[in-house]
Structures are given as structure tokens and as C-alpha cells.
Structure 1
Amino acid sequence: MTDLTKLTIAEARDALKKGDFKATELTDAYIHAIEAANPAINAYVAVTADHARKMAKASDERISQKKAGALEGIPLGVKDLYATYDIHTQACSHILDNFKPKYESTVTSNLWADGAVMLGKLNMDEFAMGSSNETSYYGPVINPWRAEGSDEKLVPGGSSGGSAAAVAAHLCAGATATDTGGSIRQPAAFTGTVGIKPTYGRCSRWGIIAFASSLDQAGPIGRDVRDCAILLKSMASFDEKDSTSADMPVPDYEASIGKSVKGMKIGIPKEYRVDGMSEEIMALWQKGIDWLKEAGAEIVNISLPHTKYALPAYYIVAPAEASSNLARYDGVRYGLRVPGKDIIEMYENTRSEGFGHEVKRRILIGTYVLSAGYYDAYYLKAQKVRTLIKQDFDKCFEAGIDAILTPATPTAAFGIADKKLKNDPVAMYLNDIFTVTVNMAGLPGISLPAGLSKNGLPLGLQLIGKPFGEEQLFQTANIIEQAAGKFSPQKWW
């Protein structure tokens, strides 16, 4: 029998239905793969092997009774930001030590209702704040990819680095992730996987630990475009418990794969040709344009004039909301508590010891921009810029553009503890330059591997869609995927 962990979700789903193997066998194959690889890759912070086997056994019973759900028996990894009932949920932060919620997030509830199996909780940047998965309390995730002829450890991107690395290293069939400024799309680009950030409101945020509530959105990371379409169909739903959830039917995303893009208008924004972008990324972008043109799409040059303000505006809005959301972690009711002589000192000691450097930095920035005398100058102005960014996209879509093609990241994956980036937070923040506009405007965006760098590392392209235009994104991404081919890392772990 082939190595079961090499199967895509679509292949495993069809094979399970035919009875080629059991869900318990598939789950065991993944558990053994995690045991062998996780010490080297550090993708999982909690492995729920017994729980997974129990879920897989129940899946086998449902399959035998012809009652299989859409994801019956498919083993998934869950980002540590999602609340999972009575199972480790810490946003990879020291301040949430030993927290095990007595409730389940809506998105994971949807997945288990469709028969998926939970393998464990995946590593991430602390509270989803980071672009390299180095801010986790549990240590950095190591990218399964390495440059040709090099043993240097590379980052998998962030904040969903554990999700992307686990999918790339075949330590789960697919994974849940979240995206606040690029945290699904950037790690997908760095690991040769596919990640989609859906339209804001498409997936419920209920039960997902908040970073920046007006920007956060749940989404999947998969091995290919079809797997992401299958996962998103199960993850998305209307939820009365989330006031920002969209009360709209969820389409069958998989049905849009394989459709022609003939006559579709693809926008190419001139503002995404930024200084310092590698020639490899420019060449890759051109390749993507050529592939879509060959498939019958019409290429249109467009302008998104407020793009240059997106990153500074994002790094005001996101920390402001983070500062507000993270005020609840004080050591009183759950998580870490560091004693003090009185309650104020206990708060101070707990927050000082419980939060890492990057989280503290963003809380301080956020508190500053929300403070009296600065609120109008910073936060209010950033929200106005955000409106202008959204209007740029609206004008393009009103003019008939169906999707926008851009690079996903300005470079390939970089080294762990890269000195320049470690000592310069602004240089690290620039990794999100192509992705933050999508969150600011609440639009869907998909990142997919489109080629390899000269030293053999994956490079990604991004497609941006209209609000709730995920079907067109899957349709268009499939064309690029077919032209580019699939990419897998050489196993070294």
C-alpha cells in the first residue's frame, strides 16, 4: 500500500469511501509520521493521539453504515488559536498556561460534524503576532524545505507556521489556520502549500482567540487548491454567536475547480511592483500572467493607489485592537498567575512574565495609538485610510475585474533567527506588504505555489477576489496550479 500520508484530502476521501483502507489506519499513519518528525519540525504543541483514534473508529462505523460526512475520517491539525473542548488551547502563549476550554470553536465544531479527525494542536506565533513563527512560547517551527545544498534552518512563515509546516511535511491531511494580515497566505507561500483567507465574515470567529477582531479570519491550509476548497466548504457557516458572520449560503467550492477562465478579467496592480522585490518574484508574477492569458483570461493593468499606506495603517489598527483584546489576560480567572503584594502587582507580574517581546511591543503600540490625544491622529486616521484602500478595490471590481493577481511574498523563506529581521521589527513587518491590503478591505485572497527559487525554495502567487468571490479564486488558482505543477520538500527529518 502507498504511504497513506501522501494522499491529498480528495484522494483519501474517495479511497475511504471505496474501502481501500480504514480511517483508523489513515490516522495511525499520521500519528506515526508526527512521532517521527515533530522533534525536528516542532509543528505540533499538543498531539491528541488517543482522541484521534477514537474519532477515527467512529468514522469507520459511519462509513460502514453509509452515513459518511464530507470529511469523514480525514485527519486534520488545528492551529492553537482555536478553542477545542478540554484540549490544550493557549495561542502558544505562556500567559494561557494549562488552559483547556469547556467549549469548542464554531469552525472546529463544523469540521467534527463533517467527520474530520483531530490529530492535535499546531504551533504558531504567540497570539498570532509574527511573520516567521519564532515568537511562540514553544519555540520556532522549522520549515520542511531547505535550500539546495544547505542545512540552514528556515522559517515556515507566520503566524500559521505550524499549520503550513505540518501540511508540507505530511503531518496532517490539512489544517485550520487564521489570517489577520497574511498569516495564512505568507506561510503557505514559504512552504509550497495552498492557503486561502476567505472574505471577512465567511467563517465564524466564535471560539477563536482574538488578535484584531475587525481583521481576523479563519481559513484552511491544504496541499492543493481542491483540498482547500473541500476544507473551506466545511469550515464556513453562518453563526449567530458571531455578529460579523455573513448570513449567506455556502457554495460547493469544489465544483468551481476545472471551470474555464476564458473571458475573465485579471487585474495586475502596478503598485505591487515594489522596490527591493527579488527578480525571481517578478519573473514568477510574469509567468502567472502568461499562464492565465494562455488559458483565455484577459489581463488588465490596474491601479490601487492607496496600497502604499496599507502597511502603516495596518500596524496601527491591528495593535490597537490587540491591546484591547489582550487586556483580559490578567491572571485572575485562568492561565498563568504570578503572585504580587496586591492585585495590581499580580496583574503586572503576570502580564510581564506571561507575554513575549513581540506581543508586548504590539500592546504598547496599540495602547499608545488609542490614548487620549493620539486616538484621532493615529487610529481614526488609519481607519479612514482603510476605507480608501477598500474603495480602490471596489472601483476595480465595479469596472469588471474578476480577480487580481499579485505576488504572495517579496522573498522566499529566510533563516531562523535572521539577525537583520530579528533586530528590525519593521523589516519583519514588510513580509506582509502584499497581504495586508486584503484584510484591510475584508476581501478573499488565496496563495498558491507557482515555482521554485534558484536555490530550490517554493515561491507563491496570490489571487485576490471580490467579496464572497472564493469560487472564482479556486477556479483561477486551479489554472495556475495545473501550469506550475506540484512541489514537495526533500525529506531530511
Structure 2
Amino acid sequence: MTDLTNLTLAEARDGLKAKSFSSTELTEAFLGAIEAANPKINAYVAVTGDQARDMAKASDARLARGEGGALEGLPLGIKDLFATKGVHTQACSHILDGFKPEYESTVTANLWADGAVMLGKLNMDEFAMGSSNETSYYGNVVNPWRKAGSDQALVPGGSSGGSAAAVAASLCLGATATDTGGSIRQPAALTGTVGIKPTYGRCSRWGVVAFASSLDQAGPIAKTVRDCAILLKSMASVDPKDTTSVDLPVPDYEAALGKSVKGLRIGIPAEYRVEGMPAEIEALWQQGIAWLKDAGAEIVNISLPHTKYALPAYYIVAPAEASSNLARYDGVRYGLRVPGNDIIDMYENTRAAGFGAEVQRRILIGTYVLSAGYYDAYYLKAQKVRTLIKRDFDLAFEAGVDAILTPATPDAAFAPGEITDPVAMYLNDIFTVTVNMAGLPGLSVPAGLSASGLPLGLQLIGRPFDEETLFQVAEVIEKAAGRFTASRWW
């Protein structure tokens, strides 16, 4: 039998249905792969082996009775931001030490209801704040990819770096992830995987540790466009516990695959040609345009004039919401507590010890922009800019554009410690933050390799709640570019 961990999620699903192997065999193969690789890649912060075996056994029984769900018996990894009942849920922060919730997030509950198997919790930037997975309390994740002829470690992107690395290293069939400013699409691009941030409100945020509530959205990272489509169908739902989740039918995303893109209008925004963009990113973008043109799509040049304000506006809105959301971590009810002379002393000691440097930086920025005298100058202005960014996209879609094609990241993966300036690190999100500010769906699909042999991704941006078109167009790029897999060194 071939190595089961190399299967795509769709292939594993079909294999289970055909009884070529059992969920127990599949799960054991992944647990073995994790045991061998995780000391080097650090993708998992908690492995739930016994639970996975029990879930696989139950799945095999349901499959035998012909009662299998859409994800029956398929082993997945879960980002440490999703509450999993009785299992390590710490947002990879010291301040949540020992926290095991008594409840299940809506997204993971949907996955288990469809028969998926949980392999464990995946590493991430602390509280999802980071673009390289270097801010995790549990140490940085190592990208399964290496430059040609080099054994230097590289970052997998962030904040969902553990999710992307686990998928790229075949340590799960697919993974949950979250995206506040690019945290699904950027790591997907840097690891040769596919990731989609759905429209804001498509997936429930209930039970997901909050970073910036008006920007956060859950989505999948997987090996292929088809795998992402299968996972999103199960993850998405309306939820009375999350009033921002939208009561719209969840389409069968997989059914959108294979449809022709002939006649679709693909927008190319002039403003995404940023100063200093590497030539290979521009070449990749032109290649993507050519593939879509060859497939019958119409390419139209568009303008999104407020794009240049998106990054500064995002780094006001997101920290402001973070400073409010993270106020609840105070050492009183759960997690870390560092004693002090009085309660104020205890708060200060706990937060100083519990939060890492990047989280502290964003709390300080957020508290500053919300403070008296600065609220109007910063936060209110950023919200006005956000409205203008959304209007740019609205006008493009009203003019008949079906999807927008841009680069996913300004460069390929870099080495840990290579970027030390916070502003330089924030620039990694330059192509992705606009999508969160406007609440739109965005998908990253692998499209080529850099000169040094590292994966590069293209981003597709869609109309609100039109993830189907993104899957349809992304599959055309995927078929033209081919799949990209890392050479095994671990």
C-alpha cells in the first residue's frame, strides 16, 4: 500500500468509501508521521492520539453501516485558536497555560458532526498575531520547504503556520486556520498549499479565540483546491451563538469545480504593483493572467485607489480590537496567574509574564489609538478608510468583474530572525489585508516556484459569499501550474 499520508483529502475520502483502507489505518499512518516529523517541524503543540484512535474506530463502524458523513474518518489538524472540549486550547500563549475548555467551537463541532478525526492542535503565532510563526510560546514552526541546495530553516508564514506546515509535510489531510489580515493565505502561499479565507460571516466565530472580531474569519488549508472546497462546506454554517454569522445556504463548493471560466471577467488592480516588488512575483502574476486568458477568461484592468491606505488602517483597527478582546486575560479566572501585592499588581505581573512581545506591542498600539484625544484622529479615521476600501471593491464588482487576481505575498519564505523590524514584518500582509478590511473572500493557490525553488502563490478575491467562483478559477490555475510538494528532509 502506498504511504497513506501522501493522499489528498478527496483521495482518502474515496479510498475509505471503496474500503481500500480503514480510518484506523489512515489515522495510525498520520500519528506515525507526526511522531517522526514533529520534533523537527514543530507543527503540533498537542497530539490527541488516543482521541484520534477512538474517533477513527467510531468512523469505521459508521462506514461499515453505510452511515458515513461528508468527512467520515478523515484525520485533520486543528489550529490552537479553536476551542476543543477537554483539549489544550491556548492560542499558543503563556497566559492561557493549562486551559482546556468545557465547550467546542462551532467550526470544529461541524467537522466532528461530519465524521472528521482530530489528530491534535496546531502551532500558530501567539493570539494569531504574526506573519512568520515566530511569536508562538511553543517556539517557531519550521517550513517543510527548503531553498534548493540549502538546509537553512525557513518560516512557514503566519499566523496559521502550523496548519500550513502540517498540510505541506503530510501530517494531516487538511487543517483549520483563521485569517485576520492574511493568516490563511500568506502561510498557504509560503508552503505550496491552498488556503481560503471565506467571506466574513460564512463561518461561525463562536469558540474561536478572538483577535480582531470584525476581521477574524475561519477557513481551511489543504493540499488542493478540491480539498479546500470539501472542508469549507463542512466548516461553514449559520450559528445563533454568533450574530455576525450569515443565514445563507452553504453551497456544495465541490460542485463548482471543473466548470469553464470562459466569459468570466478577471480584474487586475494596478495598485498591487507595489514599489520594490521582486521581478519573479510580477512574472508569476503575468503567468497567472496568461493561464486564465488561455482558459477563456476576459482580463480587465481595474483600479482600487485606496489600497495604499489599507495596511496602515488595518494596523490601527486590528490592534484596537485586540486591546479590547485581550483585556479578559487577567489571571483571575483561568490560565496563568502571577501573584502580586494586590489585585492591580497581580494583573500587571500576569500580563507582563503571560503575553509575548508582539502581543504586548499590539495591545499598546490599540490602547493608544482608542484613548481620549486620539480616538478620532486614528481609530475613527481608519474606519472611514475601511469604508472607502470596501467601496473600491464594490465598484469593481458592480462594473462586472467576477474575481480579482493579485499576488498572495511580496516574496517567498524567509529565514527565522531575518526580519526583526516590526514594520517590515507587517509589510508581508500588504496584498492580503484589503480583503479582511472589506470582508471579502480570498483564496491563495500555489502557482510556481521562486528562483531558489520555494513556492509562490497567487491570490483570488471574490464577491461577498461567492466562494464558488474562487474555487472554479483557482482550479484552472492549479491545473496549469501543477502541484508542488516539498522534498522530504525531516
Please tell me the TM-score bracket, short chain as reference: over 0.9
1:112 Cα offset (Å): 0.2
Match of 1:492 in 2: 489
Match runs of 1:280-319 below 5 Å: 280-319=280-319
1:189 Cα offset (Å): 0.2
Normalization by structure 2: what TM-score?
A: 1.00
CA distance in 2, matches of 1:474, 1:219: 13
Amino acid at match of 1:435: T
Residue 482 (str. 1) matches residue 468 (str. 2): no
Match of 1:462 in 2: 459
Match of 1:107 in 2: 107
Match of 1:353 in 2: 353
Amino acid at match of 1:41: I
Match runs of 1:168-207 below 5 Å: 168-207=168-207
Amino acid at match of 1:183: S
Match runs of 1:417-436 below 5 Å: 417-418=417-418, 421-422=419-420, 424-436=421-433
1:487 Cα offset (Å): 0.3
CA distance in 2, matches of 1:450, 1:357: 34
CA distance in 2, matches of 1:21, 1:172: 16
Match of 1:9 in 2: 9
CA distance in 1, matches of 2:15, 2:76: 17
Match of 2:408 in 1: 408
Aligned-partner SS, 1:301:
strand
Residue 451 (str. 1) matches residue 448 (str. 2): yes
Superposed CA RMSD in Å reads 0.3
How many residues are matched?
A: 490
Match of 1:244 in 2: 244
Aligned-partner SS, 1:305:
coil
Match of 2:62 in 1: 62
1:417 Cα offset (Å): 1.1
Deviations 1:120-154 (A, max 9, x none): 00000000000000000000000000000111100
Match of 2:269 in 1: 269
CA distance in 2, matches of 1:240, 1:286: 44
Match of 1:253 in 2: 253
Match of 1:334 in 2: 334
CA distance in 2, matches of 1:381, 1:110: 38
Residue 438 (str. 1) matches residue 435 (str. 2): yes
Deviations 1:182-216 (A, max 9, x none): 00000000000000000000000000000000000
Residue identity (%): 80
CA distance in 2, matches of 1:33, 1:417: 28
In structure 1, runs of 5+ residues without a counterpart are: none
In structure 2, runs of 5+ residues without a counterpart are: none
1:229 Cα offset (Å): 0.0
Residue 385 (str. 1) matches residue 382 (str. 2): no
Match runs of 1:155-174 below 5 Å: 155-174=155-174
Deviations 1:105-126 (A, max 9, x none): 0000000000000000000000
1:434 Cα offset (Å): 0.1
Match of 1:128 in 2: 128
Match of 1:81 in 2: 81
Residue 145 (str. 1) matches residue 142 (str. 2): no
Deviations 1:368-411 (A, max 9, x none): 00000000000000000000000000000000000000000000
Match of 1:224 in 2: 224
CA distance in 2, matches of 1:417, 1:139: 12
CA distance in 2, matches of 1:147, 1:15: 34
1:425 Cα offset (Å): 0.3
Match of 2:214 in 1: 214
Match of 1:234 in 2: 234
Aligned-partner SS, 2:306:
helix
Deviations 1:249-306 (A, max 9, x none): 0000000000000000000000000011110000000000000000000000000000
CA distance in 2, matches of 1:178, 1:93: 16
Amino acid at match of 1:97: D
CA distance in 2, matches of 1:395, 1:116: 40
Deviations 1:299-347 (A, max 9, x none): 0000000000000000000000000000000000100000001000000
CA distance in 1, matches of 2:114, 2:343: 45
1:471 Cα offset (Å): 0.2
Aligned-partner SS, 2:458:
strand
CA distance in 2, matches of 1:248, 1:162: 31
CA distance in 2, matches of 1:350, 1:82: 23
1:96 Cα offset (Å): 0.1
CA distance in 1, matches of 2:247, 2:354: 38
1:69 Cα offset (Å): 0.2
Amino acid at match of 2:161: G
CA distance in 2, matches of 1:22, 1:294: 41
Match of 1:371 in 2: 371
Aligned-partner SS, 1:450:
strand
Amino acid at match of 1:430: L
Match of 1:472 in 2: 469
Aligned-partner SS, 1:274:
coil
Aligned-partner SS, 2:461:
strand
CA distance in 2, matches of 1:333, 1:361: 24
CA distance in 1, matches of 2:365, 2:359: 10
Amino acid at match of 1:184: I
Normalization by structure 1: what TM-score?
A: 0.99
CA distance in 1, matches of 2:488, 2:11: 22
Aligned-partner SS, 1:406:
strand
Amino acid at match of 1:443: L
Amino acid at match of 2:13: R
Amino acid at match of 1:331: G
Aligned-partner SS, 1:214:
coil
Aligned-partner SS, 1:443:
coil
